[in-house]
Amino acid sequence: MRTAPAGERCARGTTQWHLALVALVILAFALRAVSLERQSLWYDEGVSAYLTTLSWDALTRWTADDIQPPLYYYLLKLWCAAAGHSEGALRWPSVLFSTLTVPLAAVLGRRLFSRRAGLIAGLLFALSPLYIWYAQEARNYAMLLFLTLLSSTLLYSAWVEKGARPAWGFWLAYALVTSAALYTHYFAWFMLLFHGLFVLLVWRIERRPAKALLHPAASWMLVGLSFLPWLPFLLTRYRVDESYWAGTLKVGEALRKIALSFTLGETVLEGIGWRLTAGFLVLTAVCVLTLIIAGGNRKHFVLFLVLYLVVPVAGVLALALRSPKFTPRYVMPSSAALWLIFAGGIEAFWRRRLRVGRPLAAVLTLLAGVCLLYPLAGFAYSDHNLYTDPAFTKPDFRGATRYLAAHREDNEAVILVSGHMYPIFDYYLPATERLLLPPDRILSTEHVLNQGIGQTLETALRGKAGVWVVRWQDEVVDPNGWLDLFLEQAGERLPVEAQFWHVRLEHFRLDPSRPFPTQPPIAEHMETNFAGLAQLVGWDQPAPDIYRLYWQALQPIADDLMVSIRLLDEQGLLWGQEDRRPAAYLYPTMRWKPGELTFGQGTLPAQPGTPPGSYTLEIRVYRAGQGT
């Protein structure tokens, strides 16, 4: 029997590897391109679409004041000039960037471990529910994942594979790609932190000469110089971001969400998802331990992947401690390390089985199979939900605006609450006059609706026969319900015979001949002072079993005040009690502004069997956690 020469076998293996990789790329592209327009664009995508319609100067000024830098929007604007502004056209760049991560992951897996590990990494990237989800979103996250993965691949190639030998081409490419990542998303800085730690640790472990740091230092200097013109905007945005409530990040909860997102994406309910994620965490630990053992004296790849997974996540969480605005997609680039760890662990199990006895070989084969099949089974479950389960859909602005366009009369106004949603509203209903409440470009927790909107509504709705209200994130800007309070005084609420995922429509009939109320309907005024912090200024009873209490802060309030509302009969016997925040739950007293009027509405706390008669409503105010 003739044995093929080593060179021929190598060439055949290379060809087979490339053919398998092409098949993975085709699979990844198909999964990302299928049903691309099935879901509505949501708000963030509406902003992307809106920015493509601006001039280059206006786009740059917008992003200078926004939470994202401009590179993705520049590319999207160029793309849309050729491909149009349909939902699919807006999402195609994300499809392409996400598809390109598959061969890139395979190349990095091959460099870290082996050809087989590279293909396993490519398979996991191709099927990842997280990557498919963001491949079908007109935002910068797929592009960020690609750029940070490419940047990390170049770093590993230049610093580990090239070592101390001159590799200016790799380092220059690394600097350019890293700069592009920073201009795509600000949190790419935390990937740069991981790169710096990896370089310094390898330099220290291998005791390389100081001059070896010249290449990475020069690259980082180029990156810093390239970002210098945009640095003031980053620092300003960090100081003034008001798009989330002040508070403290719940780190444990954030870590659970990250683990769930990395493994099963956005299309699994948290209850079942967390149980499945526990298995992923165990297998991750097993793979890391196996790589440490299998690496021998060469453990650069373990250090590289662990830092890749941990450092950016830790950096983003540390930043979020100041303001608890956090979503797992902010740290999505680190998820790439997870699947490379799995690919390396599977390869290590498979190789070591050839060097041990039969019983242990069977165990290692089983471990390799579990580490591969468990993620694939989880992916299949989550991907099935993504394509078939309507519970995992983006906010349905398309459906809501279509319903509005079909049912709105000519003499009816439109109000957007929160007003910052206008880019996505205008995408689906261009040239439609609308009132923005509040009139903000970016969501702000500081701009909360109050009684002052009465005058605004009176002017905007004068002579109108009706009004439609589109609600999204209204719990942030109108937590107490001032808009409904005025509209229910002025007109009649009409039924809306449809519901839309995460977007609400309300419809009111107005009487154009009737004066529009500009003040709240306080039935009885009072000035009951509670320790100089706040006062109860009045109440009304819009329905027999509904009460409404009006409050005013007398000074800034640092405490979370609570109110105990007690229903007492003429003998002083208690027939019901409700303890709650004085206003809406999402508007605690720490957010009240001195002199501002606010209100809280609730149902009279009458126990079942409460007899008819005269009752007194007793109100007590206390600090949360300190009782009455």
pLDDT digits (tens, 9 = 90+) for 297-356: 567 889 999 999 999 999 999 988 877 778 899 999 999 999 999 999 999 988 876 566
Question: Do 67 and 241 contact (CB within 8 A), yes or no?
Answer: yes
Backbone angles phi and psi of 528, in degrees to 5: -95, 110
pLDDT category at 5 given cuts 50, 70, 90 is low
CA–CA gap between residue 185 and residue 188 (Å, rounded): 6
Instruction: Please state, for a pLDDT cut of 70, what percent of the chain lies above it.
Output: 94
Give how far the C-alpha of residue 57 lies from the chain's centroid of Cα atoms, to the nearest Å. 27
> Of the CATH numbers 3.90.1150.10, 2.70.50.60, 3.40.50.1400, 3.40.1110.10, which one belongs to the domain with range 524-623?
2.70.50.60
Tell me what pLDDT residue 239 has.
67
Name residue, tokens 């439109």: 414
Which H, E and C letters describe 513-555, residue by residue?
A: CCCCCCCCCCCEEEEEEECCCEEEEEEEEEECCEEEEEEEECC
Question: Model-level pTM?
Answer: 0.91
Question: Do 528 and 545 contact (CB within 8 A), yes or no?
Answer: no
Question: Looking at the predicted structure, is the pLDDT value of residue 579 above 50?
Answer: yes
Tell me what pLDDT residue 1 has.
43
Give how far the C-alpha of residue 589 lies from the chain's centroid of Cα atoms, to the nearest Å. 27
Please name every residue paired with 491 in a beta bridge, in sequence order, or none if there are none: 510
CA–CA gap between residue 56 and residue 78 (Å, rounded): 10
Cα angle value 368/373/377 (rounded, 5°) = 160
Q: Record the tokens describing residue 109, joined without a space.
A: 């897996």
Question: Do 125 and 109 contact (CB within 8 A), yes or no?
Answer: no
Sheet containing strand 466-471, edge to edge, reads 435-436, 412-417, 466-471, 504-510, 491-494
Q: What is the per-residue burial (b if ≥16 Cβ within 10 Å, else e) of 101-130?
A: bbbbbbbbbbbbbbbbbbbbbbbbbbbbbb
Per-residue pLDDT, averaged over 613-617, amounts to 86
CA–CA gap between residue 292 and residue 302 (Å, rounded): 7
Q: Record the tokens describing residue 490, joined without a space.
A: 């002025």
CA–CA gap between residue 166 and residue 161 (Å, rounded): 11
CA–CA gap between residue 323 and residue 300 (Å, rounded): 35
CA–CA gap between residue 68 and residue 62 (Å, rounded): 10
Question: Looking at the predicted structure, is the pLDDT value of residue 242 above 70?
Answer: no
Q: Record the tokens describing residue 29, joined without a space.
A: 């592209």
Higher pLDDT residue, 15 or 333?
Answer: 333
Tell me what pLDDT residue 387 has.
93
Please name every residue paired with 375 in a beta bridge, in sequence order, or none if there are none: none
DSSP string, 22-35: HHHHHHHHHHHHTT
Give how far the C-alpha of residue 379 lies from the chain's centroid of Cα atoms, to the nearest Å. 20
Which pairing describes strands 546-553 and 616-623: parallel, antiparallel, or unpaired?
unpaired
Instruction: Please state, for a pLDDT cut of 90, what percent of the chain lies above it.
Output: 73
**Could you tell me the CA-to-CA distances from 397 to 73, 243, 359, 426, 443 in Å, in that order?**
21, 21, 58, 10, 17
Report the mean per-residue pLDDT for the chain: 91
CA–CA gap between residue 101 and residue 104 (Å, rounded): 5
pLDDT digits (tens, 9 = 90+) for 260-303: 999 999 999 988 999 999 999 999 999 999 998 887 656 788 99
Question: Do 521 and 550 contact (CB within 8 A), yes or no?
Answer: no
Residue 617 DSSP SS3: strand
pLDDT digits (tens, 9 = 90+) for 515-541: 899 999 998 999 989 989 999 999 998
CA–CA gap between residue 464 and residue 449 (Å, rounded): 22
Tell me what pLDDT residue 300 has.
86
